[in-house]
Amino acid sequence: MNAVCPHCTESDRTVSVPHALIDTGDPLPATEHGLLLPPPPPPPVRATAERSRPAMGLYIAAAVVTALWLKNLAGDLSDLQDASPAYRLGYLLGPLFLSVPLAVAGLVVQLSTRRRRVKAAEDGAAKQFAVWERRHRVWQAAWLCRRCLVAFFPKGAISPGFPASPPIAVAQLPMWVTTTAEREFGVPEPAARKFASAEPAAPH
């Protein structure tokens, strides 16, 4: 049994939004078809972490010291011709005693914080996946009236106490899906690594 359109109060031209998108017998206009597409899923999760910002700062400092040393190397050699070999060696290689420890310190910071950063990346990906799941659940409950070209949600479509919606302009449906998902289900807390290696399911 079709849902009744809240605009024209008829049901003979109503159809669920997911079905309307795949109905080759009565295809939607291109504009409406694009606006009624499901919420895009998050990208596939990769269990990788962003680079540590403190480590990147140390790497950059080491690179700057090395670049300046190389830039001035030729000039320093000509200026130190009268100095002793030991003095020249110490003067010319001195910057390396600064750049190498900086690079090593950056590596230590990078490795020591990797587990925490990977966990943060996984929690963020899990939260994005949960948000998408809730929006997709709301989108699946939407209906379309082909006569009026408006979307709507019948009473109880999303949850038992969900009230019937007014007619929704097709262009406003994505915003309705987002706000309704947040209002009905709230903003999810990241589940610990629940979706760390999962790929989002294809929309129905």
Mean pLDDT per 10-residue run, the chain (204 residues)?
90 93 90 92 64 70 70 56 57 64 70 71 82 92 94 91 92 92 72 41 42
SS3 152: strand
pLDDT, position 34: 92
pLDDT, position 202: 41
pLDDT, position 120: 74
pLDDT, position 93: 62
For residue 5, give the nearest of 204, 168, 182, 119 by alpha carbon.
Answer: 168
Distance, in Å, from the CA atom of 3 to the CA atom of 153, rounded to the nearest integer, reads 9
Q: Judge residue 153's burial from the number of C-beta atoms within 10 Å of its C-beta, 0-12 exposed, 13-18 middle, 19 or more buried.
A: buried
Chain mean position to CA 53: 20
What's at 64, amino acid-wise? V
Please tell me what DSSP assigns to residue 84.
-
Distance, in Å, from the CA atom of 39 to the CA atom of 142, rounded to the nearest integer, reads 12
Instruction: Specify whether the backbone of 187 is left (phi greater than 0), alpha (psi in -120 to 50) or beta.
Output: beta
Tokens of 73: 């190397």
pLDDT, position 79: 56
Burial 96-120 (b: 16+ CB within 10 A, else e): eeebeebbebbeebbeebeeeebbe
For residue 106, give the nearest of 95, 115, 114 by alpha carbon.
Answer: 114
pLDDT, position 78: 55
Contacts of residue 37, Cβ cutoff 8 Å, sequence gap at least 6: 21
Tokens of 198: 């999962």
Chain mean position to CA 150: 30
123, 137 contact by CB (below 8 A): no
For residue 137, give the nearest of 199, 198, 201, 197 by alpha carbon.
Answer: 201
What's at 148, amino acid-wise? C
pLDDT, position 203: 41
